[in-house]
Chain A
């Protein structure tokens, strides 16, 4: 999901209750483009649990330089995590279309109309990148605000069209039923 200022990402980890580690984390390694080359992932946003049972976590913002994770001077974005039964839920909000000032030069700049590869990583120990045990790369498209509105209009029109087709289908079924009744009536009158 996104609005004009932020990209929202939610990640859910569904494991057996005992399988959750008390210091597990989810990290978003953000590429500066749609490229999936390791050296293009320059930014990391991490939600790190210090104790998952008591929902104690920290949000971390790193700049990645030659696979070294270095703390950002100014943290941007927000993150939170919560264990809910078997599912641990992580939520991130990342600024989009920000100027290259105020420390944003340490972040991947997400611009409208562009696509970015995001490596969603999971780990059990607070070591980066050594603690990463599983990762999955996804491609995220950042829509322009107008495109997002257009997308909403398209969805509404699609729903309306489906409703119209459904009404025609239902009315056609009723009409066919009436035709059968008419045939029965005609046969009764004939005999």
Chain B
């Protein structure tokens, strides 16, 4: 048999693998976006005070309230970062510091009504940034 069909089969396999990878990457982008939007809605409800079921009851409920607010913002930031990172990778462009900075400001901007939430979210965001930086370096 000639070698030409073998090359075609290899190309086809490569194409199929590429499509499968793209499909997987796109699915990751979509899932990350959906998760980040869910946490955005949770952050909206709790940080603006539309839901205040845990606020001003006692110290434990206050801590739960703060934890929900902080975790919602941090997970929004993390999943949106993953989503944008994968999206940029799919479109062949690098993730720049402008996107990082914008997302950082928009995340910290959600905490303006509570200085305790602001402090913990700021620390949390810095830790996530350090973690992402170290993961990239490795």
Known interface pairs A164-B106, A168-B40, A190-B19; A157-B112 also in contact (CB < 8 Å): yes
Q: How far is the CA of A157 from the CA of B48 in the complex (A)?
A: 10
Query: Is A186's beta carbon under 8 Å from chain B?
Result: yes
**A167 near B112 (CB under 8 angstroms)?**
no
Is A162 a contact of B48 with CB atoms below 8 Å?
yes
Interfacial residues of chain A within 135-191, with CB under 8 A of chain B in the complex = 154, 157-158, 160-162, 164-165, 167-169, 171-172, 175-176, 178-179, 182-183, 186, 190
The yes or no answer to B104 lying at the interface (CB within 8 A) is no
Q: Is B120 an interface residue (CB 8 A)?
A: no
Measured between alpha carbons, how far is A172 from B22 in the docked complex, in Å? Answer: 22
Chain B neighbourhood of A167, CB < 8 A:
106, 109
Q: Given known contacts A160-B109, A164-B109, A165-B48, is B40 in contact with A182 (CB within 8 Å)? A: no
Contacts of A158 in B (CB 8 A): 48, 113
In the bound complex, CA of A17 to CA of B44 (Å): 47
Does B2 belong to the interface (CB within 8 Å)? no
**Helix, strand, loop or mixed for chain A's interface?**
helix
B110 lies within 8 A of chain A by Cβ: yes
Looking at chain A, what size class is its interface with the partner chain?
20 to 34
B48 — which chain A residues lie within 8 A by C-beta?
A: 158, 161-162, 165
* A182 adjacent to B87 (CB under 8 Å): yes
Q: Are A182 and B26 in contact (CB under 8 A)?
A: yes
Answer yes or no: B37 CB below 8 A from chain A CBs.
yes
- A31-B110 Cα distance, complex, nearest whole Å: 42
- B109 close to A161 (CB less than 8 A): yes
B 1-52 contacts with A by CB, 8 A: 19, 22-23, 26, 29-30, 33, 37, 40, 44, 47-48
Distance A167 CA – B109 CA, assembled complex (angstroms): 10
Chain B 76-98 interface mask (CB, 8 Å, partner A; 1/0) = 00000001100100110000000
How long is the Cα–Cα vector from A158 to B47 in the complex, in angstroms?
Answer: 10
Say which residue of B30, B33, B37, B110 sits within 8 Å of A165 (CB atoms).
Answer: B110
Closest-by-CB residue of A relative to B91 is A182
- When distances are taken between beta carbons in the complex, the residues of chain B under 8 Å from A171 are 106
**Cross-chain contact A175 with B33 (CB below 8 angstroms):** yes
**Cβ distance B81 to chain A, nearest Cβ, rounded Å:** 12
Question: Nearest Cβ in chain B — how far from A153, in angstroms?
Answer: 10
Beyond A164-B109, A179-B87, A183-B26, 7 extra complex contacts between A and B, CB < 8 Å: A157-B113, A165-B110, A167-B109, A172-B33, A172-B40, A175-B84, A182-B91
What are 16 A-B pairs with beta-carbon distances under 8 A? A157-B112, A158-B48, A161-B47, A161-B109, A161-B110, A164-B106, A171-B106, A175-B33, A175-B87, A178-B87, A182-B26, A182-B90, A183-B26, A186-B23, A186-B26, A190-B19
